[in-house]
Structure 1
Amino acid sequence: MKKLTSLLLAFCLTLASFAQQAFEVMTKKPTPGSTIVIEYMPRNTVLQGKKDFEATAYLLEGGLPRAVEVPLKQEGGIFRGSVKTADSTRAVFFAFAKDEIRDNNNDEGYYTALYDKKGEEVPGAHAALASAFGNFGGIWGLKRNQQKGAELNKKEFANTASQKKFATEYASYLSQSKDAADQDALRKLLTERLKNEKISEADLTQTRFFYQNALKDKAMADSVAALLKSRYPAAAQQTELVAQWNKAKTLPEREEVYQKFAAVSSPANELAKNRLEFFDQVIAGMYADSGNYEAAKKYLARIENKQARANALNSIAWKLSGEGINKQPKDAKAGLDFSKQSLALVDEEKKAMKNKPAYLTAKQYQRNLDNTHNMYADTYATLLYHKGDYEQAYAVEKAAVEGFKRKDASMNEAFTALTEKTKGAKAAQAELEKFMEEGKYTPAMKEQLQRLYIANGGTQAQWTSYISNLEEAAYNKFKAELAKQMINVPAPQFALKDLDGKEVSLASLKGKIVVVDFWATWCGPCRASFPGMQTAVNKYKNNPDVAFLFIDTWENDSNRVQKVTDFVAQNKYSFHVLYDDAKSKEGNDFVVVENFKVEGIPTKFVIDRNNNIRFKAVGFDGTADELATELTAMIDMVNAEGGDVKKGF
């Protein structure tokens, strides 16, 4: 059976590598250092009919991938390109994209391993591919597939030579396995590692982590921690100081920790340097909040990473703007100074391109910088508005809005306010109507449009009909896009206790549409999403056919129950909260979140009346109204059983 499984995996790898319908590697069994020639046929892919799409090769050479733009030459319906590999290249992924539309072979990926002169995969090829499916593939939009990553790693590390050559990756693979044999192998590997008197700080740190989290061996974890402290006292001190920093709340407390951390950190230690620069950003922000701008500038000047400094400058400027064009500014004059500096640093990098990460092509990095510039320009325009310089603010905001393709609702809000100030009510109303039809608006924009409509002679009854038509058009467009995301897979069954200690099962809710939201009290995006979730809960509170369940997970606080109860009560949320079951006393692994294959929170699922998952939504970066509208649309579509079912999750 083992031989059959290996043969089957090899066959699947070959199929995926040559993806016969849309993609083919013309260079058979490419070797490290060779040039790989590819052919891509977009017919029957998401890029069919798209012009000027881009091809990128991601060379896997250990660590983060190296991105290389692949120029394409068209011959009929076939696009050909090539990329030069390095001697260290183990495998290559290819991705094709046009703006936000990406073709990753339905999340199977377009890739090939590299081969040695004997025609066998080079050592590390499968581990490299596994890293893409497990982690790095998100860079080019590849959906994480831990199971496939585990299968590839298993094939890689069946070879004892690979176990030794890629010991760190091997240890990481074993740490993620629940198999008893793999856990024994990990314990053996760590035992051997500890026999090395010259063991590095990084290996000791990883060893302690694996004992603590993978093997649940607190005694050994404490023993390694003691060894780490004696061998590398500075590292141990830094760990303790980070814990102190997290507990510190006041500016004097954090400055004290900062000075202690700086005293035990070497400039050559990149990790410690990055930590200090993070401290610089936080302290600078705290000084700016107190109005001590000179002290803030002192800490900002210490941040050598200019893009990190630009981000810190913009964060301060945004706070001083009041965080919106319709808000009261805290100090627009000071904010303008910080904002100008942030834009200057971004523009400097756009010209120099000195800090491009290897995992981005020059074009991709330039686009990232353009987006950053537009985001910071929005801050600058808001501050100009508060200073009364409406014409310049309008010009700056208009460019930023167009840079984001008119898709950022908060920017659109600033732009329509500035349009009214500089171009008049008629021009503002025209812009507002366009944004409303596209669904890229805020409540403030809706209020602005109503005011302009009534002022122009419209009645309240006419307004109701008018806005209903605009919102219906936007809603229908939104549902058409959502239909592409519909899935249809059985939901994992669960039975969990709620805040009152009552058991709630998914099976007991069969016949209802159920929204399941995985969250934790420490999760910033989760907390940010809750006003929108509360809006949705309120909308359906009297609908017996819709239920909301908020599953608290990844919460290992010893006082978890009280912490969650207090959080819900203090924020006055009317959420039906359930506690995910922890797999161990340490509370690092949880049952239901794992069964649902959740990789980050917040993650929401919309489950139909037959207990099948129809939508999965990961993360939160919008507004409360946008989230409530999205959930409403999903519930409506599931209720009507509309949309095309595409795939599972």
Structure 2
Amino acid sequence: MKLSGNIFVLLTLTTALNATAQTHKERLAYSPERPLVGDKVHLTYRPDSVMLSTGQPIKAVAYYFDTTYQWSVKDLPLVKTAKGTYDADVEMAPTLGMVAFKFRSGEVTDNYKDTGYVIMNAEPGKMHKGAYAGWGMLRAARYEMGIPGYYENFQIGDTAFYYWLNQEIGYHQGASRKLAFAFIKAYANMEMPEGGPTETLPRVQRAADYLLHVPNHTEKELFQLSIIADQYLKNKERADSLRNVMRERYPKGIANKLNAYKEIFRQTDHKKTLALSEQFVKDYPANYEMDKLADVDYNRIYKMIFANYIAVNDSTLLSRYGATAPLSALALAYYKLVDIPYEDWKSKTAKEVYPTASAIMERVNHFKKNRPEEFWYLSPEQWVEECDRMFARDYIGYAQILKEVGQEPAALELANKSQERFQYSVAKLNELQADLLLKAGRNKEMSEVLHNSVRLNQASGRIFELLKKEYLATHKNTNGFDAWIASMKDAKTMELMKEHIKEGMINQPGIPFKLQQMDGKEVSLESLKGKVVILDFWATWCGPCKAAMPGMQMAQERFKNDPSVVFYFVDTQERDPKYKDKVKAFIKEKKYPFKVLFDNGEEAYAGYAKAIQTSGIPFKVVIDANGNIRFAQVGYYGSPSELADEISTMVSLAREIK
């Protein structure tokens, strides 16, 4: 569609702009309704029931687009009124083109049904500089010139974006130079949506010629011109000439950086790739604006460097790159260097991983105070929340490490902070926090953690041990303890769990097996007929398998006096020639009262995995008294009490089968 014949579209767009400003009055009203430059605008926000249902504070973020065509973001302070509304003030400064708002409460956000809350700065008779461009950039998500994530699905097309840029350029002196690159892209996409010969478009040629002849080019403008020459004018000679100018004028600039970046990924030799990656980050510091334009990804480079150092267990990684690496690389390092050896494999103690863990966490705290430029669109509060979200699970593990190295106050502070996020939904955190509160003598707070752990079915054996002590403080014996515990559990949660388990019920013949126990005695499925059989496939190298065992022990304990229910822990997929010795040592160390079967590689496991069409361990199977598989479950989700209830429910349902 040609703009010259687009009067109807222009009128429609202008009408839509005015309508958008009016329709959200029910939620966000502002006074004056049509602000001008210099006005102080008073906002009144009315959160809906969805926002209020979170129980979290109502917050606001303001996104400012200025007259230099740059975005910035701030947390907007809100004042709650007696009427239940929230007030704020925004000054329409002469340097401001427009401002957009988003309101949030916990994980719920409000941008008025994906249409946006926007105030455009105005002068008598026209919009102020930056208003048209900001309105277009905000809504044209595919051009990546607006606010990432502001809209969920909405965006305007190429014609509309071109219109708003054209309005900005037409009304405001100096806009042409700043917006020429975006103007060319939008116009070319509008005229040639199928990717036709954009070099034939006179406006593209004129705009490119204009930008080519402005005085004192910046590096960014030169690079944009090279892209225009390549992609829109199909003039390779001009593009090469521009890049040569850049290489000479900016030896460490984007042209040479891009060449070095591409060279890394041309390599097939692992050592050369690493060497070039390390030289790259040494020679070329990150520059968000230029790197985005050139599609240079430092996260990718640093993750590759970190992966290589971690693979060869090079302890100099953090001293070399910890201070310059992006947050994503630090997350990888924490997982590989702390989580796996300390949490999963148990191959390192808290004391051994503490130096690495503390160094990474110090760097995370530095990031929280110094937001990287590529995350400009997150307000200061949002950025801290994003860092905490990225390392949320790691904070729990780090609190445990702090506890074990004798830093209980710091561990408790971190555990309390983590609980604000997880709200008793993580059994491991509940146990850790309870123990730290007990050590600090804060028994009332500890009791609250214990009760909430059971209420949400996220309790460990240690939680029940502490609750038993609490129960015995007011009772002569533990006769009513189980009923007391049951009364704490949320009835709706338990009912939903039972219904979910029922939905997963199956009916397939059990796969026959004959396996040896640790004492050498043979056990077969045939010999167990008439009993409900629970098989737990596990391995000594499997962290989640071992993490699930306390829950399985709790489940087994419930049926210890019932000879019609038997538990067998099938050790499978072992690769160590001495795995039987390792298994025996592990069971003895943990004092588990388990009957362990050795799987001859993965003989039994392979049959059951094929029958259920699944893979992975831990893998739990419940077989009814007739020898039929009734339930199969892969994985472990972290709650011993929940796992015990799930297995108990499966057993009960399997026993109902006649």
Match of 2:212 in 1: 194
Of residues 336-345 and 419-428 in structure 1, the stretch that sits farther from structure 2 once superposed is 419-428
Distance 2:322 2:188 in 1: 41
Amino acid across the alignment from 1:227: L
3-state SS in 1 of match to 2:119 = strand
Q: Does 1:76 align with 2:83?
A: yes
Distance 1:105 1:259, change over 3 A: closer
Q: 2:235 aligns with which of 217, 220, 224?
A: 220
Q: Does 1:9 align with 2:13?
A: yes
3-state SS in 2 of match to 1:323 = helix
Match of 2:556 in 1: 454
Match of 2:312 in 1: 290
Report if aligned partners of 2:28, 2:45 keep a CA contact under 8 Å in 1.
yes
Report if aligned partners of 1:60, 1:128 keep a CA contact under 8 Å in 2.
yes
Distance 2:334 2:465 in 1: 29
3-state SS in 2 of match to 1:90 = strand
Q: Provide the aligned length of Structure 1 versus Structure 2.
A: 463
Q: Does 1:97 align with 2:111?
A: no
Distance 1:363 1:212, change over 3 A: same
Q: 2:155 aligns with which of 123, 146, 149?
A: 146
Kindly state the Cα deviation for residue 381 of structure 1 after the two structures are TM-superposed.
Answer: 5.0
Match of 2:641 in 1: none
Distance 1:241 1:397 in 2: 42
Distance 1:41 1:370, change over 3 A: same
1:599-614 equivalence runs, <5 A: none
Q: 2:265 aligns with which of 246, 270, 274?
A: 246
Match of 1:229 in 2: 244
3-state SS in 1 of match to 2:122 = coil
Distance 1:376 1:105 in 2: 35
Kindly state the Cα deviation for residue 90 of structure 1 after the two structures are TM-superposed.
Answer: 0.9
For structure 1, list consecutive stretches of 5 or more residues without a partner in the other structure: 465-537, 542-570, 572-622, 627-649
Distance 1:49 1:421 in 2: 31
Kindly state the Cα deviation for residue 105 of structure 1 after the two structures are TM-superposed.
Answer: 0.7
1:54-453 equivalence runs, <5 A: 54-61=59-66, 62-116=69-123, 118-133=124-139, 134=141, 135=144, 141-147=150-156, 151-158=160-167, 160-161=169-170, 164-165=176-177, 166-179=179-192, 183=198, 184=201, 185-195=203-213, 198-213=216-231, 215=232, 219-221=234-236, 223-233=238-248, 234=251, 235-248=254-267, 252-258=271-277, 260-261=279-280, 265=284, 279=301, 282-293=304-315, 295-300=316-321, 303=324, 308=326, 312-321=329-338, 323=340, 327-329=344-346, 331=348, 334-347=352-365, 359-371=377-389, 374-381=392-399, 398-399=415-416, 401-406=418-423, 420=460, 422-423=462-463, 449-453=551-555
Distance 1:222 1:625 in 2: 60
3-state SS in 2 of match to 1:76 = coil
Distance 1:271 1:462, change over 3 A: farther
3-state SS in 2 of match to 1:5 = helix
Kindly state the Cα deviation for residue 144 of structure 1 after the two structures are TM-superposed.
Answer: 4.5
The superposition leaves residues 350-385 of structure 1 with CA deviations (integer Å, 9 ceiling, x where unpaired) of 6x6687965444433443444456444244357679
The superposition leaves residues 543-570 of structure 1 with CA deviations (integer Å, 9 ceiling, x where unpaired) of xxxxxxxxxxxxxxxxxxxxxxxxxxxx
Percent identity over the alignment? 13
Q: Does 1:28 align with 2:28?
A: no
The superposition leaves residues 390-441 of structure 1 with CA deviations (integer Å, 9 ceiling, x where unpaired) of 999995885465243259879779979997475467879989988986999x
Report if aligned partners of 1:59, 1:93 keep a CA contact under 8 Å in 2.
yes
3-state SS in 1 of match to 2:112 = coil
Report if aligned partners of 1:420, 1:427 keep a CA contact under 8 Å in 2.
no
Distance 1:143 1:416, change over 3 A: same
Kindly state the Cα deviation for residue 110 of structure 1 after the two structures are TM-superposed.
Answer: 1.2
Distance 1:225 1:271, change over 3 A: same
The superposition leaves residues 440-460 of structure 1 with CA deviations (integer Å, 9 ceiling, x where unpaired) of 9x9867775344222232779
Report if aligned partners of 2:101, 2:118 keep a CA contact under 8 Å in 1.
yes
Amino acid across the alignment from 1:13: L
Q: 1:39 aligns with which of 44, 49, 65?
A: 44
TM-score (norm: length of structure 1): 0.57
Distance 2:60 2:564 in 1: 53
Report if aligned partners of 1:47, 1:102 keep a CA contact under 8 Å in 2.
no
Distance 1:207 1:267, change over 3 A: closer
The superposition leaves residues 326-354 of structure 1 with CA deviations (integer Å, 9 ceiling, x where unpaired) of 6215655553211111222334566x668
Distance 1:25 1:255, change over 3 A: same
Kindly state the Cα deviation for residue 97 of structure 1 after the two structures are TM-superposed.
Answer: 1.4
Distance 1:451 1:462 in 2: 14
Amino acid across the alignment from 1:155: W
Distance 1:148 1:68, change over 3 A: farther
TM-align CA RMSD: 5.2
Distance 1:411 1:151 in 2: 52
3-state SS in 2 of match to 1:67 = strand
Distance 2:74 2:566 in 1: 52
Amino acid across the alignment from 1:238: K
Report if aligned partners of 2:277, 2:305 keep a CA contact under 8 Å in 1.
no
Distance 1:70 1:85 in 2: 16
1:505-584 equivalence runs, <5 A: none
TM-score (norm: length of structure 2): 0.56
Report if aligned partners of 1:90, 1:114 keep a CA contact under 8 Å in 2.
yes
3-state SS in 1 of match to 2:100 = strand
Distance 2:34 2:493 in 1: 53
Report if aligned partners of 2:29, 2:45 keep a CA contact under 8 Å in 1.
yes
Of residues 162-171 and 16-25 in structure 1, the stretch that sits farther from structure 2 once superposed is 162-171
